[in-house]
């Protein structure tokens, strides 16, 4: 396993769920962390706990990935000791609503496109040039099984995750003459706050998504992202599709 001591890992959407789990997983391997999200108070608490527990350094950034100017300003003004990002984890993302496309509220589309696609692009655009200059780095983006098989009532969310897959595939080609790796980790059912956000705080409806199934956890995804990041330098894990044992794909699941 490649060592991560003193590597700088930039994680978006790090205030909860998979992003938070990644922060702990990478800190446990000695990485220093740049944690970004909109809720800096949560990041500060996480950062203090991680520094105390693992003895690594943590920088927290209040960052809305949907705002390209804010992303550019924040990353271009990173302190010198934090500027050379080794690993970027594009985790920030969400689903809003579960409705037929022709009945849906376009504001939901904007939220998903601006976060899942444009946010990923804005952050990647700012960090990858430094990786190219150093001829070293790894971009790991969180995709979804929804980026492999579209489903009803999820057209725009699925489109954004197909987009994450396409951007990653294209970026890998763009970087083929460098030593930079590009990976996506594409999970199925993961029990985080994802469904609660999708259903606008309807916790009962959100809980039914996982009814009768043992879903993946945020820690399961973080462990897989860590695996991708710690392969020998000549090995690139381009894509991982992972589901609970009881889920075959976006359409087929067995509920007890």
Are 12 and 65 in contact by the 8 Å Cβ rule? The answer is yes
Token output for 212: 């009768």
Closest Cα to residue 15, out of 69, 51, 61, 75?
Answer: 61
Token output for 163: 């987009």
Residue appearing with tokens 């609503």 = 97
HSE, side-chain direction, 13 A CA sphere, residue 153 = 8
Token output for 154: 């999820």
CA 20 to chain CA mean position, Å: 10
Specify the 3-state DSSP secondary structure of 11: strand
Whole-number Å distance between alpha carbons of 224 and 1: 13
From first CA to last CA, the distance across the chain in angstroms is: 38
227 is catalytic: no
- In the set 122, 151, 157, 210, the catalytic residue is 157
Reading phi first (left if > 0) and then psi (alpha if -120 to 50, else beta), residue 166 is in alpha
Please give the positions annotated as active site: 157
């Amino acid at each position: 396993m490649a060592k991560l001591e003193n590597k700088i890992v930039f994680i978006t959407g790090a205030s909860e769920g998979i992003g938070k789990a990644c922060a702990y997983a990478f800190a446990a391997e000695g990485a220093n962390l740049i944690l970004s999200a909109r809720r800096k108070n949560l990041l500060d608490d996480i950062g203090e706990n991680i520094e105390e527990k693992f003895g690594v350094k943590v920088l927290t950034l209040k960052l809305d990935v949907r705002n390209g100017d804010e992303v550019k300003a924040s990353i271009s003004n990173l302190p010198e000791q934090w500027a050379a990002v080794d690993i970027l984890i594009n985790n920030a993302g969400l689903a809003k609503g579960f409705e037929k496309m022709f009945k849906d509220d376009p504001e939901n589309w904007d939220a998903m496109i601006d976060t899942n696609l444009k946010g990923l692009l804005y952050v990647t655009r700012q960090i990858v040039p430094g990786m190219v200059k150093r001829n070293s780095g790894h971009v790991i983006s969180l995709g979804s099984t929804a980026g492999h098989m579209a489903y009803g009532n999820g057209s725009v969310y699925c489109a954004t995750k197909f987009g994450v897959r396409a951007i990653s595939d294209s970026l890998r080609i763009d970087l083929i003459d460098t030593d930079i790796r590009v990976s996506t980790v594409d999970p199925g059912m993961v029990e985080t706050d994802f469904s609660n956000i999708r259903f606008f705080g309807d916790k009962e409806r959100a809980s039914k998504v996982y009814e009768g199934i043992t879903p993946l956890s945020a820690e399961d995804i973080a462990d897989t992202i860590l695996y991708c990041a710690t392969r020998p330098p000549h090995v690139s894990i381009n894509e991982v599709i992972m589901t609970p044992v009881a889920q075959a794909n976006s359409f087929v699941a067995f509920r007890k």
